[in-house]
Amino acid sequence: MDKPETDTAFAGSIPKLYETLMVPLIFEPYAVDLVDRLAARPLTRVLEVAAGTGVVTRRLASVLPASVAIVATDLNQPMLDYASVVGTARPVEWRQADATTLPFADESFDAVVCQFGVMFFPDKAKALAEARRVLVPGGIFIFNVWDRIEDNEFADVVTTALRSVFPDDPPRFMARIPHGYHDLATIGHDLKNGGFGTVPGTSTVAARSRAASARVAAMAYCLGTPLRGEIEARDKTRLDAATEAATQAIAARFGPGAVDGKIQAHIVSIEK
């Protein structure tokens, strides 16, 4: 019982849990990597799509010169609201926007940045075409996507553990969406369909995911992502049981104390 309508539901308590649990667990190292790849380019105006609670936005605001304007967008206003509360080192423009219909003029930005958002776009070629449309000639589109779930240990363990709670209909959100867009040939095909005429640059970067305990890691996945909606769609009364099953599985694999697992992602960049 997949629930596509919950796949992009980052609302309620999720923004806070996402920021406090998921961001330090898996997103921070890739935010640093992504922004540092842009830092040497001459930029005047940067657009971020699928900004979430602003982990990349904060890095952009800290690293890029103050003369570079930053516009950060997301489909989910609650995520942007939380991002603006957390704040940035200097002012940025927060704006609710759908990546498939960006509310910006052609050739408005020197760079478009997207951290772990492309996987969520229902029409990827259309969203990629929009990124290209708003870029100036020679501008860069840079994004990252998670590699296959087997190379991202906590996500894999949690997904497997939930089979014991819902054996007839296990939640597959993590495998289906965040880790469901890892094939580089498919990504290249979608970029071509989006109008990009050059071959993208790609690299695969492994990092470590660390949490103070198995419980913290389990809560991050089960409570701080749309996986929560998929669990609750099956049985709202079993959210605690699902989180406990994930906790026990992570502890069994990585130990009862602080836990440390592999994460891996692809970084893709392409110029207009």
Q: Which domain holds residue 194?
A: 4-271
The rounded distance, in Å, linking the Cα atoms of 7 and 217 is 20
How many Å is the Cα radius of gyration of the chain? 18
Using the predicted structure, report yes or no on whether residue 7 has a pLDDT greater than 60: no
Confidence of residue 1 (pLDDT cuts 50, 70, 90): very low
Q: Number of structural domains, the chain? A: 1
Q: pTM for this structure?
A: 0.94
Q: Residues with Cβ < 8 Å from 233, sequence gap 6 or more? A: 1, 3, 6
Q: Quick one: pLDDT at residue 5? A: 52
Confidence of residue 14 (pLDDT cuts 50, 70, 90): confident
- Average pLDDT of every residue of the chain: 95
Sign of CA dihedral 193, 195, 197, 203: negative
The two three-digit tokens of residue 22, written as one number:
């998921």
Using the predicted structure, report yes or no on whether residue 113 has a pLDDT greater than 80: yes
Using the predicted structure, report yes or no on whether residue 116 has a pLDDT greater than 50: yes
Assign residue 109 the CATH number of its domain.
3.40.50.150
Q: Quick one: pLDDT at residue 4? A: 53
